[in-house]
Structure 1
């Protein structure tokens, strides 16, 4: 849940209208922002079909590098001279980022959280995980620029955070997140009872 909130998606979600204001009209910017939300919803469906086929671990390890590439593409697009090309690259970068986020980091943490806790405390554990999920956006949004800030500053703040944490997330998933593909609840308890060290 921590990684889901600190992978920069909330900054894009909260400030997407500002980001799109860089080249869209007052009417087009909210519409482009709506496109971000719709893609986020639509691309959660592939996770439903692939989470047990490819596995949670593989989805996370695949989508994190893609998210970073597409966010870097978005950030560097602000160095393109203002015009239709810049607007197109910003929109494509954010949309591709969303398409990578939704089936991986957007959906998988909920499945992992439900599996990680032993059956006798699963209800309390999921309550704690969900609480953390909704408390963490407060931290990410409070560190983000105000609505009056330029889109370039917004993306640069996002990029500075991504550079610091995306690589750590990838390594943490690779080393400490167990593979739970096609395991029963009883076997999951055995997998998560083994210390990660």
Structure 2
């Protein structure tokens, strides 16, 4: 799972040396691998628009908020325990084969849900599908970063979140209008479609070279870069970089002692914390429940679909601007307006307690507007960027373990939020719970302002020098943005 840092002074994206690379094959490869994110999105969105209380799924009915909370949170537990194993599998058998194998837990999990006759089978199915979805949070960005050129790395890196939102929206629509068993069967088919499409994409050149398969690495580069690109030169750079990595490799413990490593860990774990504790998964998993509690005249299922659509469009917009505006400014924008929209929603819940039903209906546009704004700004910044940051900021010698640890931490926080959100809302009230989310977003804005470094358009070498307090300059004394291009 390591990034490979190339030592050539002319970056591998320099057309003067390497020729002009085609970008469309890289976009196609990234989109095909992220079809697995669609499958993961259907898992996350499965609970948002269904009503298990009616016993529509083989007459199995959760009787308490705690039981319903477990249906949502078992998914996050499954995702959490996969973050470390998936990284080792990617290094052992390859990025491509590892992701194709996730079709097995996806399929078995959905079959358990489809044919359930007790809550335990639903729990087990949610756990297995969560394992598969969580595995994609590590493996898909890894694959994408290893096939991407620097100038489109951010855009391709955001595809995972984009296709995840597609899956969530699919769940929102199907959950509203399709029988829950048919809905689950359709969800079970999506991983199979992913397998068929992704099967024809190559293994990453980096992994093939690490295993000594030079022919496969060259073939992959030719497929990804096109005929006008001198793939042999990039292949030589990869070989040299791998050799340098083997000669200069230091232990994980020693790697943690550097200033750059310490700063990257603080930033990455901090971003994961504020991403989850701002309440995003509570809003995704329980959108319908939240709207029922507002008393708005708008059908909660329709509101959920509207929000899912907005989230998808905003995530698409993020993929277009993440390499233009940069990561830090988008994070600041995202967190600040998550705070504002959270406060508005919380205030609505507070004043609602003393209002008549008609008065509530008259201002029923407020909660949906607040959640729409929340999902828009989250999707522009805090949705994709913490995952991109993990791949860009972590030093090579700690990346495999540290990125998996950050992903595990992320899913553990998601578990806490999804498991206890309904319980907190019932005991403290919806307003207090959302106030807590808003406070955390306020703290997140401060955190980003003082700690996050910009990585837009910078190589791994530049990023590590900045984290370590250095600025690299060329022989003319000018900072060189093309020095030490990185292949991920």
Map 1:17-32 onto structure 2 (within 5 A). Answer: 17-21=288-292, 22-24=294-296, 28-32=299-303
Contact 2:278–2:441, Cα closer than 8 Å, also in 1: yes
1:182 match: 457
1:129 match: 406
1:170 is the counterpart of 2:170:
no
Structure-2 separation of matches of 1:177 and 1:57: 6
1:99 match: 376
Instruction: Determine which of 391, 397, 404 is the counterpart of 1:114.
Output: 391
Return 130-139 or 30-39, whichever deviates more.
Answer: 30-39
Return 117-126 or 3-12, whichever deviates more.
Answer: 117-126
1:125 aligned counterpart, secondary structure? helix
**Distance apart, 1:142 and its partner CA:** 3.2
Distance 1:139 1:147, change over 3 A: closer
1:87 is the counterpart of 2:364:
yes
Structure-2 separation of matches of 1:66 and 1:60: 10
Instruction: Determine which of 57, 66, 71 is the counterpart of 2:337.
Output: 66
2:381 aligned counterpart, secondary structure? coil
**Distance apart, 1:100 and its partner CA:** 1.0
Contact 2:326–2:454, Cα closer than 8 Å, also in 1: yes
2:279 match: 8
Return 55-64 or 40-49, whichever deviates more.
Answer: 40-49
Distance 1:181 1:76, change over 3 A: same
Whose Rg is larger? 2
2:208 match: none
Instruction: Determine which of 51, 57, 70 is the counterpart of 2:322.
Output: 51
Contact 1:15–1:147, Cα closer than 8 Å, also in 2: no
Q: List structure 1 runs of 4+ shifted beyond 4 angstroms.
A: none
What TM-score results when the alignment is normalised by the length of structure 2? 0.37
1:40 match: 311
Structure-2 separation of matches of 1:100 and 1:138: 22
Greater relative CO (CA pairs within 8 A, separation 6+): 1
2:415 aligned counterpart, secondary structure? helix
**Distance apart, 1:10 and its partner CA:** 1.9
Contact 1:56–1:179, Cα closer than 8 Å, also in 2: yes
Contact 2:277–2:417, Cα closer than 8 Å, also in 1: yes
2:347 match: 76
Return 47-56 or 34-43, whichever deviates more.
Answer: 34-43
Contact 1:145–1:153, Cα closer than 8 Å, also in 2: no
Distance 1:34 1:156, change over 3 A: farther
Contact 1:11–1:158, Cα closer than 8 Å, also in 2: no
RMSD: 2.5
Structure-1 separation of matches of 2:306 and 2:444: 27
**Distance apart, 1:148 and its partner CA:** 8.6
1:122 aligned counterpart, secondary structure? helix
Contact 1:73–1:93, Cα closer than 8 Å, also in 2: yes
Contact 2:338–2:374, Cα closer than 8 Å, also in 1: yes
Structure-2 separation of matches of 1:130 and 1:42: 25
Structure 1 residues without counterparts, runs of 5 or longer: none
Structure-2 separation of matches of 1:149 and 1:30: 21
Structure-2 separation of matches of 1:11 and 1:94: 12
Contact 1:23–1:86, Cα closer than 8 Å, also in 2: no
Structure-2 separation of matches of 1:148 and 1:113: 32
Contact 2:339–2:442, Cα closer than 8 Å, also in 1: no
What TM-score results when the alignment is normalised by the length of structure 1? 0.85
**Distance apart, 1:141 and its partner CA:** 2.4
